[in-house]
Amino acid sequence: MASTTLTHPEPTQHENAEGEKGEEEFEVIKRDPYLAPFRAALRGRYGYFRNWVNTIDRTEGSLDDFSRGYEKFGFNRTKTHIIYREWAPGATSACLIGEFNNWDHSAHTMTKNSFGVWEIAIPHVAPGQPAIPHDSKIKVSFTNESGERFDRIPAWITRVTQDLNTSPVYDAVYWDPPQPYVWKNPAPPRPKSLRVYEAHVGISTPEPRVGTYNEFTDRMLPYIKDLGYNTIQLMAVMEHAYYASFGYQVTNFFAASSRYGTPEDLKRLVDTAHGLGLTVLLDVVHSHASNNVLDGLNHFDGTDHCYFHEGSRGRHELWNSRLFNYSHHEVLRFLLSNLRFYMDEYRMDGFRFDGVTSMLYLHHGIATGFSGNYEEYFGGAVDGEALGYLMIANYMLHSLYPHVLTIAEDVSGMPALCRPVEEGGVGFDYRLAMAIPDMWIKLLKEVRDEDWKMGDITFNLVNRRWKEKSIAYAESHDQALVGDKSLAFWLMDKEMYTNMSDLTERTPIIDRGMALHKLIRLVTYGLGGEGYLNFEGNEFGHPEWLDFPREGNHDSFHYARRQFNLVEDPLLRYKYLVNWDRAMHHLENRYPWLESEHTWVSTKHEGDKVVAFERGPLLFIINFHPTQSFTDYRIGAPKSGNYQMVLNSDAPEFFGYNRLDQNQVFTATPGEWNGRPNYIQVYIPSRTAIILKSDA
């Protein structure tokens, strides 16, 4: 990509020579006057961001050039040489060793500049024949001040592999295929309604083993497209030595995990997804790094710091991992270039940033409950360096890639997290609505169905910051991990092994579980956010939990797989839940409500357990009552005229009792009801949902 001059964002207020704001306010304060007392903190954050961008422009030419560090660091091949550079300021000597030089420490020594960057240029053995063969093992070897020698995997390496027959430690591989992947499909337009399928390549098979990129491409992509999702969020792609970490203990940031296949296989996955019109997001972990030394970044140059803070600030006590020093020039280059690398090399369409809460606060959210008091988001608890990095990263991505999407995993609810940097925000497009799945688990574990509070449920679903987009979900991978279990298992674990066949009777437990599984998803989808997410397998009520091979389970793959064979069996009842999931997505695609700003909750009747709300062009009516059905139930309607039923959960294809006429037309009657100018009267059976569309 050619160098691009980025126009620095100008806030909506004037700025004097010292960087202080004038009389006009940041846009985020105009939207939310409660932020006004924290004007100085917002100015400080923005000033820190601007100072970094100005420094990068002055020292590196541009943020664009700076964030393409992979073109300078690591291995880069020219017409005549392979150039290798590595930042390791604490080392006193360095050499490149590998199969290409029989691991000879004296054959290819490196030189160090004043910034701690080591470099070597290795001439080709013949025109077009590099000295380092493709797919050969390689390492960088350092010495420290005491003369101790230690070998490391290059920090910018793009491929590492593991041979468990010889060592559990990963090996670095020089990857430069003679026939690069040829891309076929352009990326689809950025979706306005985000319907996200959260997936892990390795577990995307019913067989007890690690799945592959190619299997995911051939089997999963058509399935995801058919269901009606428009976005895939890929987990655990950045290489992690410990499979059971779920990809959250990254060892090699530029290497796509080799346990699933080759880099070209991953490119084919993304390319095929684009051809199907699917947006692809990468789960990126810049909140911390693996504690591994031999195949990670820890003690990379022999010191306790290098890429991380030294001492206790550089360690996450609960995750047993290292914490980046976001205030260092070369750490910023490494992380920003990491984002650019996946955008340019693998043509990702954006990122879900993991562990944002841990980044935002010096306490990392540990033993901290966020009440919503604005004092919690400004002051000494905030990690200004990490917050500044997130602002720079979002600004860079959105400036260079207009179609990019960024999602923050933040449980704290920090104001302005999802507003543009120039408005005084941090720049994310969406945040995950992490309180919603917690609510559902708490209800299922602690509250009887007849005691569910409709007002509390709807409040929790709509309780989000205005003009800051959220992605709602009833459960994600977090709720599926061992120690917890899927919603379907919470609902039906007593009978999922015995009564999920159509050849068995319909029991109260199965009836309740199947009905609530549908209703929980629908009300979350309808009210919870401007996007919707589902973790793979949960669309059909995946049983049990998720547990990766580890010492504690004797390295078993039994729970580290998704049993798609269950939904493919026509005799099993899982098919009804996947039918419902598909129907919801295709309805949202037909009548987009996620992108609509119109939301109106007209009914939340505690005694009847009925919720009714308008979202976009649709009217949702949901009866959560365990036993009571209602005839001629009056519901407020926004428009006059006729209403057509476009979806109902009682249809037989959704394991319903077929008590409703899908073709029935409801005529609105003038007259105020629950704050609406008209009303309709419907038959709404217990634990059933219907969705209506006005013909007006």
Instruction: Give exposure, 563-577, as e/b (b: 16+ Cβ within 10 Å).
Output: bbebbeeeebbbbbb
Which amino acid, residue 76? N
Prediction pTM value: 0.95
**Residue 369: its pLDDT value, please?**
86
DSSP 380: T
**Residue 15: its pLDDT value, please?**
46
Q: What is the mean pLDDT of residues 638-646?
A: 96
Distance CA 546, CA 481 (A): 5
Q: What is the mean pLDDT of residues 491-508?
A: 95
Which amino acid, residue 381? A
Q: What is the mean pLDDT of the chain?
A: 94
> What angle do the packed helices 454-462 and 435-446 form, to 10 degrees?
160
Please state the separation of Cα 192 from the chain's center in Å. Answer: 17
Q: Per-residue pLDDT for 16 more than 70?
A: no
Q: Per-residue pLDDT for 328 more than 70?
A: yes
pLDDT in tens, 28-63: 999 999 999 999 999 999 999 999 999 999 999 999
Confidence of residue 164 (pLDDT cuts 50, 70, 90): confident
pLDDT in tens, 226-267: 999 999 999 999 999 999 999 999 999 999 999 999 999 999
Our answer to whether residue 354 is catalytic in this structure is yes
Percentage with pLDDT > 90 across the chain: 91
**Residue 10: its pLDDT value, please?**
56
Which of 25, 409, 423, 530 is flagged as catalytic? 409
Our answer to whether residue 207 is catalytic in this structure is no
Which of 198, 301, 349, 354 is flagged as catalytic? 354
**Residue 11: its pLDDT value, please?**
54
Confidence of residue 372 (pLDDT cuts 50, 70, 90): confident
Write down the residue that tokens 């793979």 correspond to: 536
Q: Per-residue pLDDT for 23 more than 90?
A: no
pLDDT in tens, 643-689: 999 999 999 999 999 999 999 999 999 999 999 999 999 999 999 99
Provide CB contacts within 8 A for 408, sequence distance 6+.
353, 356, 390, 417, 418, 426, 428, 430, 431, 432
Q: Tell me the three state secondary structure of residue 493.
A: coil
**Residue 13: its pLDDT value, please?**
42
Q: Per-residue pLDDT for 20 more than 70?
A: no
DSSP 402: T
Q: Per-residue pLDDT for 2 more than 50?
A: no
The superfamily (CATH) of domain 599-694 is: Golgi alpha-mannosidase II (2.60.40.1180)
Provide CB contacts within 8 A for 368, sequence distance 6+.
361
- Domain range list for the chain: 599-694
pLDDT in tens, 438-455: 999 999 999 999 999 999
Instruction: Give exposure, 46-74, as e/b (b: 16+ Cβ within 10 Å).
Output: bbbbbebbeebbeebeebbbbbbbbebbb
Q: Per-residue pLDDT for 363 more than 50?
A: yes
CA dihedral 254, 170, 280, 211 (to 10 degrees): 170
Confidence of residue 18 (pLDDT cuts 50, 70, 90): very low
**Residue 25: its pLDDT value, please?**
86
Q: What is the mean pLDDT of residues 173-195?
A: 97
Distance CA 368, CA 358 (A): 11
Lowest mean pLDDT among 15-19, 194-198, 658-662: 15-19
- Hey, which residues does 141 pair with through a beta bridge? 95, 151
**Residue 21: its pLDDT value, please?**
44
**Residue 163: its pLDDT value, please?**
86
Distance CA 117, CA 132 (A): 21
Q: Per-residue pLDDT for 381 more than 90?
A: yes
**Residue 17: its pLDDT value, please?**
40
**Residue 5: its pLDDT value, please?**
45
